């Protein structure tokens, strides 16, 4: 088992990663009967894509002897209705370091092959951009 999710009431869940004991909460968004006081479940999906892309780029950067600390991913999730679902995820990566053309190409390709990206439904539009220092 990977995690345990407990419904706390009032459209809030507590999520526990079993190996580490780390926890976070989710709330329903304000546009869907919630308080919006924490990440919504769909926020975690969109943010998880950025987490995954940064992680695999970080692994590749270690192999290339590149320090990626300070890289920021700005995530925008766009919802649609009928059925209510994520229709688009936009991610803008901002790198605080210089990289040559070869390393940029390698890191961008690595990001676009992360497991979460491959796991998302093909109808979800993914708009990914990379801003290099």
How far apart, in whole angstroms, are the C-alpha atoms of residue 62 and residue 68? 9
Q: H helices within the chain, ranges in order?
A: 41-63, 101-111, 115-119
Q: DSSP class of residue 124?
A: S
Say if residue 133's pLDDT is above 90.
no
User: Tens digit of pLDDT for each residue in 83-113?
Assistant: 999 999 999 999 999 999 999 999 999 999 9
User: Domain extents for the chain?
Assistant: 1-39, 40-131
Under a CB-based contact definition with an 8 Å cutoff, are residues 40 and 31 in contact? no
User: Tens digit of pLDDT for each residue in 21-65?
Assistant: 999 999 999 999 999 999 999 999 999 999 999 999 999 999 999
Which pLDDT value is given to residue 119? 98
Q: Which class would CATH give 40-131?
A: alpha beta
């Amino acid at each position: 088992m990977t995690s345990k999710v407990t419904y706390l009431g009032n459209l809030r869940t507590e999520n526990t990663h079993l190996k580490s004991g780390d926890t976070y909460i989710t709330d329903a968004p304000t546009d869907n009967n919630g308080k919006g006081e924490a990440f919504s479940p769909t926020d975690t999906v969109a943010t998880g894509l950025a987490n995954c892309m940064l992680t695999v780029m970080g692994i590749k950067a270690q192999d290339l002897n590149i320090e990626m600390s300070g890289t920021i991913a700005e995530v925008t999730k766009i919802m649609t209705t009928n059925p209510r679902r994520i229709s688009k995820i936009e991610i803008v990566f901002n790198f605080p370091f210089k990289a040559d053309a070869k390393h940029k190409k390698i890191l961008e390709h690595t990001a676009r092959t992360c497991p979460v990206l491959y796991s998302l439904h093909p109808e979800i539009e993914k708009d990914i951009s990379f801003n290099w220092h």
